[in-house]
């Protein structure tokens, strides 16, 4: 899916590191101290997520890639922000 969002394959290592740190790629990862949920840990109280987000990993990853593109530009920029701030 990364090319659909304009990301080069070289960005995958950063995406993997980001998602391992957020959810370990678990579709039902649920943060007990916030509304963060899913592989990309979308804050459900702040973001409108698409139908199927709660159970479908493809929907979660596609949403996450769009969020990264719109908010940080690239997965590596998102990962760098996460490392500096402990959130993204």
Helix (H, G, I), strand (E, B) or coil at 30: strand
pLDDT at 70: 98
Q: Assign 7 a pLDDT band (cuts: 50, 70, 90).
A: very high
So where are the chain's domains? 2-85
13-57 pLDDT, tens digit each = 999 999 999 999 999 999 999 999 999 999 999 999 999 999 999
Q: Which residues pair with 37 in a beta bridge?
A: 30, 42
Q: Nearest CA to 63 among 82, 38, 83?
A: 38
Helix (H, G, I), strand (E, B) or coil at 79: helix
Q: Nearest CA to 75 among 66, 87, 84, 55?
A: 66
pLDDT at 76: 98
């Amino acid at each position: 899916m990364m090319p659909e969002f304009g990301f080069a394959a070289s960005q995958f290592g950063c995406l993997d590191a980001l998602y391992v740190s957020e959810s370990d790629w678990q579709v039902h990862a649920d943060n007990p101290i916030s509304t963060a949920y899913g592989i990309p840990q979308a804050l459900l109280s702040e973001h409108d997520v698409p139908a199927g987000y709660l159970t479908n990993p493809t929907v979660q990853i596609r949403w996450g890639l769009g969020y990264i593109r719109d908010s940080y530009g690239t997965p590596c920029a998102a990962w760098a922000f996460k490392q500096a701030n402990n959130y993204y």
